[in-house]
């Protein structure tokens, strides 16, 4: 079992030198950092929403890699591998990069940010991927798989790959400590803010009946709103909804089990 946090990504990168190299390239890239600052300028300062910047990128990337590991342990084959595009290491890289860059489009506007994210990330990938891939054909296909993850993380878009579905579900796991993925206006007392602040922690582990179990622990039942409106809506169009189960607890009392 792991707790969803910004530090999880570092654990997931252990023993994965190529993934670590790609992650560090994104973390240290001045343009990427500038876009994340701008994303939070738009979301937090101008729209008074919750965080959509680099911390959220780290959290989502860690959750995505851990969820993918659980699916691999259960015998699930990444779609890019199944379709003969790349190998398993590449599929992990696609998942990590897609998760890290998925919200970068907020640097333009919250509206249609999954679209904005694609053209912003395309430029970044065109700079970063040549250092990781000498094969132009493979590089182009990996690039497009990453962009698919970014585009389809929106709830209205159906994921066409396991990797994209993992990114979408991982995005929904960033809910603890007021970091809920439904944007809510800071300082406003309503169901969005009350629900977000109710969630204490989110955990990911091997499930009982499905490969992935997500456990949400909350201080009061208001947090169920975030689970249903954020995580469950993302699961519904992830394409991996039959591989994930969600347990919701208030302290030690089980409130709800969700299987789609």
At 33-92, the pLDDT tens digits run: 999 999 999 988 888 777 789 999 999 999 999 999 999 999 999 999 999 999 999 999
Q: How far is the C-alpha of 130 from the C-alpha of 87, rounded, in Å?
A: 17
Q: Nearest-5° angle of CA 116, CA 117, CA 119?
A: 70
Which among 121, 4, 108 has a CA at the least distance from the CA of 64? Answer: 4
Q: Nearest-5° angle of CA 164, CA 117, CA 203?
A: 45
pTM for this prediction: 0.95
Lookup result for tokens 């939070």: 40
pLDDT at 30: 97
The CA dihedral of 34, 105, 96, 200, to the nearest 10 degrees, is 90
CB 240 within 8 Å of CB 166:
yes
Residue 193 pLDDT exceeds 80:
no
pLDDT category of residue 194 using cuts at 50, 70 and 90: confident
- Phi/psi at 133 (5° precision): -130, 120
Q: Which pLDDT tens digit goes with each residue over 29-50? A: 999 999 999 999 998 888 877 7
List the 199-206 sheet strands across, edge first: 2-3, 199-206, 212-218, 244-250, 253-259
């Amino acid at each position: 079992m792991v707790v969803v946090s910004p530090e999880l990504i570092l654990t997931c990168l252990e023993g994965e030198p190529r993934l670590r190299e790609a992650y560090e390239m994104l973390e240290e890239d001045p343009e990427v950092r500038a876009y994340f600052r701008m994303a939070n300028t738009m979301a937090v300062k101008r729209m008074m929403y919750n965080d959509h910047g680099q911390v959220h990128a780290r959290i989502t990337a860690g959750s995505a890699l851990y969820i993918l590991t659980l699916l691999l342990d259960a015998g699930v084959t990444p779609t890019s591998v199944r379709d003969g595009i790349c190998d398993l290491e590449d599929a992990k890289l696609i998942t990590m990069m897609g998760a890290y860059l998925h919200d970068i489009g907020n640097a333009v506007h919250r509206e249609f940010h999954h679209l904005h994210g694609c053209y912003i990330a395309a430029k970044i990938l065109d700079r970063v991927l040549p250092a990781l891939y000498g094969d132009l054909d493979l590089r182009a296909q990996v690039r497009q798989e990453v962009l698919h993850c970014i585009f389809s993380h929106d709830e209205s878009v159906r994921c066409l790959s396991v990797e994209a579905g993992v990114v979408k579900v991982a995005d929904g796991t960033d809910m603890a400590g007021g970091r809920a993925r439904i944007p809510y206006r800071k300082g406003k007392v309503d169901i969005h803010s009350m629900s977000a602040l109710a969630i204490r922690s989110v955990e990911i582990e091997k499930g009982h009946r499905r490969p992935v179990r997500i456990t949400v622990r909350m201080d009061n039942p208001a947090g169920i709103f975030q689970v249903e409106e954020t995580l469950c809506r993302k699961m519904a169009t992830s394409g991996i909804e039959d591989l994930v189960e969600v347990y919701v607890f208030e302290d030690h009392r089980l409130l709800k089990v969700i299987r789609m």
